[in-house]
């Protein structure tokens, strides 16, 4: 009997048998094992998501082989796929074509003990960040013992294990590279039998370090299939798994209709800067100033900057003042918004905001959704209902009024967190913002800039032969006070004319050296 994960038209998933019949809340008709290979790697081995020419470890650079003492084939149909399906990118997880978090196989009813081994092979330049070699082997041998329980589904995910009498709760058997103390081997909660280096035993590399070996005992209690929640968990892509793009050709008009008002990129960049620099964690100075204040996070400089701007441009006569602002980003040309709040699933661009109210756009990539101050929320048995400034109901959060009044729950925190993590989570949108913001600053600077006479002795441009132009920003609001330009090929900024001269003469002399040099001038004798 085979089991699979079926995706329903509404986007939800359900377990089905080989005939396509849903298992619903029932258990499987024979014992099944949820195999869950997880590899934890050091942070320094990871590259930055969506950064070109970054040599961080990639899923395609990992090969996983699984063997066992069971009298059945434990490999998933279609082969193993390595993914990073968790918010924490340090986990690489083996899965199947349909299930991202491991896979399931039926096992003989009379089996109570068996071995399973995960053999991870890594070949990546990223390994040099932790050890001077490209390839690394990890062998993880696990002795599994099955215990009777309320069902006959056995998951290797420790979060699915019921509490049993004995020592402290055990945790998932995670494979590690063996390089650092933070390799997540909690010896008090795992039954480690042996761990040691792997050494080449023959060939040219005989005696050299090949990798790491880990052996442990794992006890698993049977549970009903419906309690094995993690089998169909993490089915949606994480943002770091997505190849982000700034080239968008679809749903442009739909996006613009969602936010007819355009927000200056420079304004949003300043809000991000506030969120990054003014800490808002529980122990922060700002958090202490609003302790016990309902909706106090709305007073953060980042929220006030955005909401004050929206107050000045929105439709007149709307019932509620804005108190929070949440960014949504188009990270690829597939008709979806990714929310700045990583807990919220993607939303379709088309028809997202039919009224055109409560939201502003930044170019064709970013939408900023404003929410009303939380003081306007209403409470009932379902929780706290939050509104948009236009009066439209937005969402209901499962908290009671007391949690809001004492400051324990504050929806503006998620908005601040979205801003503070924006440059890391949305690198291409961040590049777009800085380009647009820079163009905005230059345009605003041009409105107030005043020409400055060139200091005596300035040399002409070696590239075009013309003389550069220097302007001064008397307001000091738009970057460097002085700006030297020469056509569209030279731009030098500094707060002093002497600094401008030094940079210009350095560039001038460097260009002269390049023009006078020959291919044989490389500095040798």
DSSP 223: B
- At 489 the pLDDT is 85
Closest residue by Cα to residue 83 from 57, 110, 45, 54: 57
Model pLDDT, residue 9? 45
Predicted local distance difference test score (pLDDT) of residue 329: 98
Query: pTM of the full predicted structure?
Result: 0.72
Burial of 133 (0-12, 13-18, 19+ CB in 10 A): middle
Give the pLDDT confidence score for residue 524 in this predicted structure. 42
Q: What is the reported pLDDT for 153?
A: 94
Of 7, 4, 9, the C-alpha closest to 19 is 4
Task: Tokens for 43, please give them.
Answer: 């942070």
Per-residue pLDDT at 426: 94
Q: Is 349 left (phi over 0), alpha (psi -120 to 50) or beta?
A: alpha
Q: Give the per-residue pLDDT at 90.
A: 92
Rounded Cα–Cα distance for residues 420 and 337 (Å): 18
CA 202, 203, 204, 208 torsion-angle sign: negative
pLDDT at position 520: 45
Q: How far apart are CA 192 and CA 212, in angstroms?
A: 14
Question: How many CB atoms neighbour CB 372 within 10 A?
Answer: 24
Residue 1: predicted pLDDT:
40
Mean pLDDT per 10-residue section of the chain, whose length is 525 residues: 50 52 61 95 80 76 96 94 94 95 94 96 92 93 94 92 61 87 71 91 86 94 91 90 88 97 95 96 94 95 98 95 98 96 94 96 96 96 95 93 91 97 93 80 82 88 89 85 89 90 70 49 42
Distance (Å, whole) CA 483 – CA 469: 8
Predicted pLDDT at 18? 47
290 neighbors 458 (Cβ within 8 angstroms) = no
Q: What is the distance between the alpha carbons of residues 93 and 84, in angstroms, rounded to a whole number? A: 6
Q: What is the pLDDT of residue 476?
A: 82
297 phi and psi angles, rounded to 5 deg: -65, -20
Residue 26: half-sphere exposure toward Cβ, Cα within 13 Å: 8
Under 8 Å between Cβ of 388 and 357: yes
- Residue 494, Cβ neighbours under 10 Å: how many? 18
Q: Is-contact 303 325, C-beta < 8 A?
A: yes
């Amino acid at each position: 009997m085979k089991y699979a994960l079926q995706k329903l038209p509404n986007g939800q998933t359900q377990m089905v048998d080989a005939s396509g019949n849903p298992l619903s809340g029932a258990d499987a008709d024979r014992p099944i094992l949820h195999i869950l290979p997880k590899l934890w790697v050091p942070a320094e081995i990871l590259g930055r998501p969506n950064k070109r020419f970054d040599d961080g470890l990639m899923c395609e650079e990992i090969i996983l082989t699984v063997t066992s003492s069971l009298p059945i084939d434990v490999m998933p149909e279609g082969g193993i796929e390595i993914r990073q399906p968790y918010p924490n990118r340090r986990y690489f997880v083996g899965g199947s074509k349909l299930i991202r978090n491991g896979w399931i196989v039926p096992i003989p009813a009379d089996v109570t003990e068996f071995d399973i081994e995960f053999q991870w092979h890594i070949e990546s330049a990223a390994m040099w960040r932790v050890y001077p070699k490209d390839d690394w082997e990890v062998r993880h041998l696990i002795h599994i013992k099955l215990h009777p329980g309320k069902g006959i589904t056995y998951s290797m995910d420790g979060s699915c294990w019921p509490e049993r009498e004995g020592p402290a709760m055990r945790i998932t058997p995670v494979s590690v590279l063996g390089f650092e103390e933070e390799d997540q081997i909690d010896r008090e909660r795992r039954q480690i039998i042996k761990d040691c280096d792997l050494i080449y035993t023959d060939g040219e590399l005989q005696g050299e370090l090949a990798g790491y070996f880990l052996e442990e005992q794992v006890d698993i209690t049977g549970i009903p299939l419906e309690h094995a929640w993690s089998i169909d968990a993490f089915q949606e892509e994480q943002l770091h798994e997505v190849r982000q793009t700034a080239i968008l050709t679809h749903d442009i008009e739909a996006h613009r209709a969602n936010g007819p008002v355009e927000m200056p990129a420079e304004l949003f960049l300043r809000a991000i800067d506030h969120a990054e620099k003014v800490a808002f964690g529980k122990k922060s100075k700002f958090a202490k100033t609003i302790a016990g204040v309902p909706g106090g996070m709305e007073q953060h400089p980042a929220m006030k900057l955005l909401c004050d701007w929206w107050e000045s441009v929105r439709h007149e006569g709307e019932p509620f003042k804005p108190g929070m602002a949440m960014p949504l980003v188009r990270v690829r040309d597939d008709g979806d918004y990714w929310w700045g709040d990583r807990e919220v699933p993607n939303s379709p661009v088309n028809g997202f905001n039919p009224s055109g109210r409560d939201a502003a756009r930044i170019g064709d990539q970013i939408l900023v959704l404003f929410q009303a101050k939380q003081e306007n929320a209403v409470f009932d048995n379902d929780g706290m209902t939050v509104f948009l400034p236009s009066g439209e109901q937005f969402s209901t959060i499962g908290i009671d009024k007391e949690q809001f009044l004492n400051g324990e729950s504050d929806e503006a925190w998620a908005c601040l967190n979205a801003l503070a993590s924006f440059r890391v989570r949305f690198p291409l949108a961040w590049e777009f913002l800085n380009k647009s913001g820079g163009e905005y600053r230059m345009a605003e600077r041009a409105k107030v800039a005043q020409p400055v006479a060139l200091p005596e002795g300035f040399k002409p441009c070696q590239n075009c032969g013309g003389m550069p132009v220097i302007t001064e920003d008397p307001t000091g609001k738009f970057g460097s006070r002085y700006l030297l330009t020469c056509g569209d090929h030279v731009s030098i900024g500094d707060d002093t004319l002497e600094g401008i001269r030094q940079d210009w003469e350095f560039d001038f002399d460097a260009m002269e050296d390049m023009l006078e040099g020959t291919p044989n001038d490389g500095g040798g004798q």
